């Protein structure tokens, strides 16, 4: 069935609890990413998640910046905002502030989030507003055809640094875990669809800023970064816990399995900082962290209170 009303614009919604949404209600235009691009897998997982969660399309918003991954909103039938480079998070936080009832998703690439958008990223983590934030990290600027990004591994060549990236990359997991009020931090990979889905499901269930870094293959420009990880499961470690993500079927493929309590922030930071393996799972989860939209709401004034405050202020200038 198709969506009804236009809740986002507040112009009349049919609140029909009997509606059932299927994949058709979320699938937008045909995705134009390259063949083999990891973005396709993320889109599939997201469409599945929206269907399973039965999120009304008219109450769901996808916000993106600029980059290959940022074409995401075009491929869904929810509301979408394909914004400007690095500014997905300010748009999403503004929408959530005004309409806390919306289901907000943000899709960013590594250049988008960790370079030009890094300032917004840091503050959005601290605001801890309820949204699912996906960093589709392919370690390169793909849309503009192969430039070094903040997450490009050291010595990996690109058009801008043909002899290899000069510096060690930013680690998005350590960076996120280092910010005050981080509440949900997870990592997954596009080529492990069961894990990808389970992680997004956990992120969507969390009330707060759910940050999910998806290791995302770009066969055009950074295939080498992920080839080894795909071919050598021993380089990956699954983090499992009843409060995290567990996909038992994967434990016969990935022999390195670690029980990790996601409430332990120090342990999460140590795991993120240790580069011995790539960890997939929920590194940190604290549902008790305050959310900006909630705390603001609690302090917001009624219309009558606003008038009284305004009159008090004006009275100060009475002569």
Sign of CA dihedral 37, 43, 44, 46: positive
Figure out which of the listed residues 78, 128, 138, 176 binds ligand SF4, where binding follows CB under 6 A. 138
Neighbours of 122 (CB within 10 A): 15
Q: Is 139 in the site for ligand SF4 (CB under 6 A)?
A: no
Region of 52-60, 91-99, 215-223, 294-302 interacting with ligand SF4 (CB under 6 A)? 215-223
For the chain, the maximum distance between any two Cα atoms, rounded to a whole number of angstroms, is 81
User: Residue 29: which of 94, 73, 66 has the closest Cα?
Assistant: 73
The one among 219, 256, 269, 278 contacting ligand SF4 by CB under 6 A: 219
Does position 142 interact with ligand SF4 (CB under 6 A)? The reply is yes
147 lies in the site for ligand SF4, by CB under 6 A? no
215 binds ligand SF4 per the rule CB under 6 A: no
276 vs 268, 271, 279, CA distance in Å? 14, 9, 9
The reply on whether position 226 binds ligand SF4 by CB under 6 A is: no
In terms of CB distance, is 67 or 244 closer to ligand SF4? 67
N-to-C CA span, the chain: 64
Cβ-contact 136, 38 below 8 angstroms: yes
39 is a site residue for ligand SF4 (CB under 6 A): yes
* Residue 34 sits in the site that holds ligand SF4 (CB under 6 A): yes
Calpha distance 164→170 (Å, rounded): 16
- Does residue number 141 form part of the binding site for ligand SF4 (CB under 6 A)? no
244 lies in the binding site for ligand SF4 (CB under 6 A) = no
Least distance (Å) between residue 222 CB and ligand SF4: 7
Examine residue 42 and tell whether it contacts ligand SF4 (CB under 6 A).
no
Rounded Cα distance between 192 and 201, Å, is 14
Per-residue string for binding with ligand SF4, 64-103, x by CB under 6 A? ----x-----------------------------------
Q: How far apart are CA 131 and CA 153, in angstroms?
A: 29
Rg (CA), the chain: 21
Region near ligand SF4 per CB under 6 A, out of 32-40, 49-57, 239-247, 298-306: 32-40
Tokens of 182: 């981080």
Beta strand pairing status for 79-82 and 236-240? Answer: unpaired
What is the binding site for ligand SF4 (CB under 6 A)?
Answer: 33-34, 37, 39, 68, 138, 142-143, 218-221
């Amino acid at each position: 069935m198709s969506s009804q009303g236009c809740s986002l614009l507040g112009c009349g919604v049919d609140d029909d609890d009997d509606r059932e949404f299927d994949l058709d209600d979320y699938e937008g235009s045909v995705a134009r990413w390259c063949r083999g691009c990891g973005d396709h897998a993320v889109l599939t997982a997201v469409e599945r998640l929206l269907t399973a969660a039965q999120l009304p399309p008219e109450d769901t918003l996808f916000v993106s910046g600029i980059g290959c991954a940022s074409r995401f909103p075009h491929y869904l039938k929810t509301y979408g905002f394909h914004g400007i480079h690095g500014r997905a998070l300010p748009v999403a936080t503004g929408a959530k502030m005004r309409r806390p009832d919306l289901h907000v998703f943000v899709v960013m690439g590594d250049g988008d989030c960790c370079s030009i958008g890094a300032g917004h990223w840091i503050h959005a983590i601290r605001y801890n507003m309820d949204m699912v934030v996906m960093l589709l990290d392919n370690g390169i600027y793909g849309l503009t055809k192969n430039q070094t990004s903040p997450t490009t591994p050291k010595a990996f060549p690109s058009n801008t640094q043909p002899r290899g990236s000069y510096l060690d990359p930013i680690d998005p997991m350590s960076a996120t875990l280092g910010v005050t009020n981080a509440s949900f931090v997870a990592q997954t990979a596009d080529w492990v669809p069961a894990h990808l889905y389970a992680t997004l499901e956990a992120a969507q269930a969390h009330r707060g800023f759910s940050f999910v870094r998806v290791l995302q293959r770009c066969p055009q420009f950074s295939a080498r970064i992920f080839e080894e990880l795909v071919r050598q499961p021993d380089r990956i470690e699954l983090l499992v816990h009843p409060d995290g993500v567990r996909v038992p079927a994967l434990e016969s493929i990935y022999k390195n399995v670690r029980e990790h309590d996601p409430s332990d922030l120090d342990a999460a930071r140590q795991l993120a900082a240790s580069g011995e393996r790539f960890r997939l799972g929920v590194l940190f989860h604290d549902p008790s962290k305050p959310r900006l939209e909630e705390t603001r709401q609690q302090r917001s004034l009624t219309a009558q209170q606003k008038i009284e405050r305004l009159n008090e202020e004006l009275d100060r200038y009475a002569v």
